[in-house]
Amino acid sequence: MAKLLTNLRTVALASALAIAGAGHAQTGDPSFDEGLTYPDLVDLSDGTPLVLKAQIRSQATVEPERSPGLEPGFVRLYIEARTSALIAGSVPVGEALRYLVDVPLDEKGKPPKLRRQEVILFARPVPGRPEQIQLVDPQAQFAYDPALEARLRPILSDLLAPDAPPRVTGIRDALAVEGTLVGESETQLFLDTENDGPVSVTIVRRPGQAPRWGVSWTEIVDQSARAPQRGTLEWYRLACTLPDRLPGSANLSRNPRARALAEADYALVREGLGPCIRTRD
């Protein structure tokens, strides 16, 4: 018990500041998967060094005064666990794990008993402490479920693929041109990305046809490009990043007709993408 308390103090001191500044889940017990959406899983996975399956071996409660940023109704636990599998990771991880996690108190106002539960963890290593990990947010622990792992693995593969779509950071230019026929037009949106990779959205209108739009992830602006399917990384990069309306910071034509057309076509794209639904902050 003395050894456990010593380890608890060490991990608490090493992780408290980072946990205090991290995001929090909005609802639900973080020990259980309560309908994580596709955006939730990408949010957790994107850029995360370690995704692990582990079994909890022991737990101890961290005192409230040593749990900065703790939400009301939650408790911070020091966990000792055993690695069951490395689902994805760019750094080595040992068999024994130690970390902190925030979980809701049970209906009696007491910490839940998590010993022997299998969990999935989204974490990063702690420099200089190979036996410790730090969750990417205080509640990034979920009960292991084969269905959850099955949903997670293709997302991890897509994120690590050489041709993975880049993170979109904004809209640089919006160009709209009317055609020679009434109702004919084409709008092109050129997006900014984190690594300056070329991304463009083309919206084409033809008389007597429904408007169509698509995304090009290369330098070639392709009028035959298609809209991304929902629940894909391409869709996530747009639906979960682009603003609801075409921002004034984008380089727009001063021609009122062209500007109105670009704004209408952008609204069409946003409607086609649909909402980015998250259950977590």
* Interval 166-177: pLDDT, tens: 999 999 999 999
Task: Determine the pLDDT at residue 29.
Answer: 39
Which residue is listed with tokens 């949010």? 43
Contact of 134 with 15, CB cutoff 8 Å: yes
* Interval 128-149: pLDDT, tens: 888 899 999 999 999 999 999 9
Question: Which of 64, 134, 137 shows the shortest CA–CA distance to 105?
Answer: 64
Domain ranges of the chain: 2-160, 168-273
Q: What's the average model confidence in pLDDT over 29-40?
A: 68
Contact of 273 with 235, CB cutoff 8 Å: yes
2-160 is a CATH 2.40.110.10 domain: no
Higher-pLDDT residue of 3, 129 = 129
Q: What's the predicted TM-score (pTM) here?
A: 0.84
Task: Determine the pLDDT at residue 126.
Answer: 92
* Interval 96-106: pLDDT, tens: 999 999 999 99
Q: Residues of 207-245 as b/e, b for ≥16 C-beta within 10 angstroms?
A: eeeebbbbbbbeeeeeeebebbeeeebbbbbbbbebeee
* Interval 180-195: pLDDT, tens: 998 899 999 999 999 8
Question: Which of 51, 55, 63 shows the shortest CA–CA distance to 79?
Answer: 55
